[in-house]
Amino acid sequence: MDDETIRIFPLGDSALTVEFSNTISEPINKKAIALANRIEEKSFPGFIESVPAYASTTIFYDLVRVRKHFPDLPTAFNAVKDIAENVLKTLDDSDESVSRTVEILVHFDATSALDLAHVSEARGLTPAQVIEIFTSRTYRVFMLGFLPGFTYMGEVDDRIATPRKESPRTMLPKGSVGVAGKQTGIYSLESPGGWQILGRTDVEMFTPAADQPTLLQPGDEVRFIAAS
């Protein structure tokens, strides 16, 4: 992979970020996920984890172990940067992970859809139209963050894209499904939050004791199904 727009910079003294772009797009996100997966597979002494985001990948490492195993390089950052650059050179389309499609049942009743009326009014639609538009497309999981298992997905149809609330709620129920601009996401735990809540799901997004604690992974595709 040869791309002059890629930037590699330190994130503190025990991590570095490989930034592919500052825009949100599926092709760029696929590169970030592919790099994270390849680093996980190859690993290196002192490697902790690699985390893909919308348009970047952050590699976390043990500073002491990296310095011990790569003494010829001036810093641990230089050592990991060298590893990342070598992996980038060999990335191609075959490295893209196979995405899963996961269906999530969502309740859109009044007690679950805390901001459905607001979004409907703001966008000049009926609540039924908002639900129909929201459930009519498939959403890509671009990244996880904020909470364990919280999903940043997109992109939401322009007709229902609505900014975050000006004043976040101090607490939202676990499973709340919200929108913020063209993003959508699921609150995996009870938490404060400022997204516009369209509904709620009973599906467990985060199970700490499971072999795979988070239900969804970057690169997955999600379809929301309205509960009858």
* Domain of residue 107, CATH code: 2.40.100.10
The reply to whether 2 falls in a domain is no
Is residue 118 located within the same domain as residue 205? yes
The domain tally of the chain equals 2
Positive or negative torsion for Cα 188, 139, 94, 16: negative
**Domain of 16: which CATH number?**
3.30.1360.40
pLDDT digits (tens, 9 = 90+) for 31-58: 999 999 999 998 999 999 999 999 999 9
User: Of 74, 95, 116, which residue sits at a domain end?
Assistant: 95
Is residue 89 located within the same domain as residue 121? no
Three-state SS for 168? coil
What is the residue type of 176?
A: S
Is residue 180 located within the same domain as residue 149? yes
With a cut of 90, say whether residue 3 has pLDDT above it: no
> Mean pLDDT of all residues in the chain?
94
Domain ranges, residue 16: 7-95
The reply to whether 40 falls in a domain is yes
Instruction: Give buried/exposed letters for 112-144 (b at 16+ CB in 10 A, else e).
Output: bbbbbeebbeebebebeebbebbbeeebbbbbb
Provide the whole-model pTM: 0.89
